[in-house]
């Protein structure tokens, strides 16, 4: 039997006010804080396996649902990386967390990077997992490729259509459970019009790279299509730390201990 999408053993949950309504968050463990930022169109449940690994290593893990994802209120005027970053900063403030370590995956890494750039007093370390580093041409092409896929069909075939799409384009190592949870998360809040996916190519990371002053770890997965961008980022910011994963984008879902290991090693060298 597949586990509930909403269950993480031992976690605490709550809501805080954000820029566009209530923000839901998950809170697991005790110790120095690490905030995890999910990618679109997931929610905090993306880290259902990774968060316990970090908590077991002695960290308090805070995972918010970005606006329009999970159980957080949707934005009124469209999504953006900037809005998502403001939301994460609001969670940090509302919970009185002080400077935190922050990590994100794919589009969530862009949000984490934006938090570090725009709110340097709130972030003591950044870990960016397969963060997109698009040129202007790549951003335009990515934006043009996105379609509004969330059409609800009377016969329920939108679920099987989405399953087929995910199996075609996502990391083939994803388990059936991961695909299931991802599809439930995708349809949970009604038509999202791919707003979260559109936020990433609309954001120019280059404008914020020199504003990131905290220790930073760039993570790149060999089988992720974004793999070359990791090396481009550390060439652009040679003082940053770099590590590679052996798998693809599914590491955070299917191989959580391996995913967490370089982040934990990196954080050991960062003063609290």
Q: What is the pLDDT of residue 10?
A: 85
- The per-residue pLDDT for range 183-198, each reduced to its tens digit, is 998 888 766 556 788 8
247-to-8, 152, 155, 168, 232 alpha-carbon distances in Å? 25, 34, 36, 17, 19
Cα(57)–Cα(35) distance, integer angstroms: 14
- The per-residue pLDDT for range 33-80, each reduced to its tens digit, is 999 999 998 999 999 999 999 999 999 999 999 999 999 999 988 899
Residues 6 or more apart whose CB falls under 8 angstroms from that of 198 comprise 79, 143, 146
Cα(179)–Cα(163) distance, integer angstroms: 7
Taking domain 12-268, whether its CATH number is 3.60.110.10 is answered by no
Q: Does the predicted model carry a pTM greater than 0.75?
A: yes
- The per-residue pLDDT for range 231-247, each reduced to its tens digit, is 999 999 999 999 999 99
Would you kindly state where each structural domain of the chain is located, as residue ranges?
A: 12-268
* Residue 91: pLDDT over 70: yes
DSSP 8-state class, residue 98: -
* Residue 271: pLDDT over 90: no
């Amino acid at each position: 039997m597949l586990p509930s999408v909403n269950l993480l053993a031992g976690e605490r949950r709550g809501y805080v006010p954000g820029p566009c309504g209530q923000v839901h968050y998950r809170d697991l463990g005790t110790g120095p804080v690490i905030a995890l930022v999910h990618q679109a169109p997931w929610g905090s449940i993306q880290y259902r396996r990774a968060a316990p690994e970090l908590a077991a290593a002695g960290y308090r893990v805070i995972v918010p649902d970005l606006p329009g994802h999970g159980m957080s209120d949707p934005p009124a005027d469209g999504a953006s990386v900037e809005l998502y970053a403001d939301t994460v900063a609001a969670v940090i403030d509302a919970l009185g967390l002080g400077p935190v370590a922050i990590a994100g995956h794919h589009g969530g890494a862009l949000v984490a990077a934006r938090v570090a750039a725009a709110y340097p007093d709130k972030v003591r370390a950044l870990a960016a997992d397969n963060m997109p580093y698009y040129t202007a041409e790549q951003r335009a092409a990515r934006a043009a490729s996105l379609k509004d896929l969330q059409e609800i069909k009377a016969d329920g075939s939108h679920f099987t259509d989405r399953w087929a799409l995910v199996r075609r384009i996502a990391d083939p190592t994803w388990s059936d459970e991961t695909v299931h949870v991802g599809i439930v998360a995708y349809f949970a809040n009604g038509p999202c019009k791919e707003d979260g996916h559109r936020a990433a190519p609309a954001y120019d990371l280059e404008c914020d790279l020199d504003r990131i002053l905290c220790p930073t770890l760039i993570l790149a997965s060999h089988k992720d299509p974004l793999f070359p961008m990791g090396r481009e980022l550390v060439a652009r910011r040679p003082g940053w730390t770099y590590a590679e994963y052996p798998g693809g984008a599914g590491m955070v879902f299917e191989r959580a201990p391996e995913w967490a290991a370089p982040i934990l090693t990196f954080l050991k060298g960062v003063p609290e």
